[in-house]
């Protein structure tokens, strides 16, 4: 959900984010965001082992409970 490559890469480095990052740099015109119905940031997606989205946009206790539920399986 970024639009400027330099600022995006700078933020990744500044925050020490070590996982793989991907962006088309199209901001709100991002087709993948539209496909998944992203309308705010942050947006969260919980995937099961097969890659199926099993929960979306959970926060706080609901997010924790869902993660614990899935890890218990």
Strand residue runs (E) in 22-68: 45-47, 53-56
Domain ranges of the chain: 1-41, 43-73
Q: What is the pLDDT along the chain (73 residues), one digit of tens a residue?
A: 899 999 999 999 999 999 999 899 999 999 989 998 898 888 899 988 898 999 999 999 999 999 999 889 8
> Cβ distance 45 to 56 under 8 Å?
yes
Residues in the chain: 73
- Indicate left, alpha or beta for 68 from its phi (over 0: left) and psi (-120 to 50: alpha): alpha
Whole-structure pTM value = 0.62
């Amino acid at each position: 959900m970024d639009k400027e490559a330099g600022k995006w890469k700078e933020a990744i480095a500044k925050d020490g984010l070590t996982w793989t990052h991907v962006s088309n740099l199209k901001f709100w015109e991002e087709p993948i965001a539209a496909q998944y119905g992203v309308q705010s940031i942050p947006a969260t997606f919980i995937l099961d082992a097969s890659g199926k989205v099993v929960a979306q946009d959970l926060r706080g206790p609901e997010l924790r409970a869902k993660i614990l539920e899935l890890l218990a399986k």
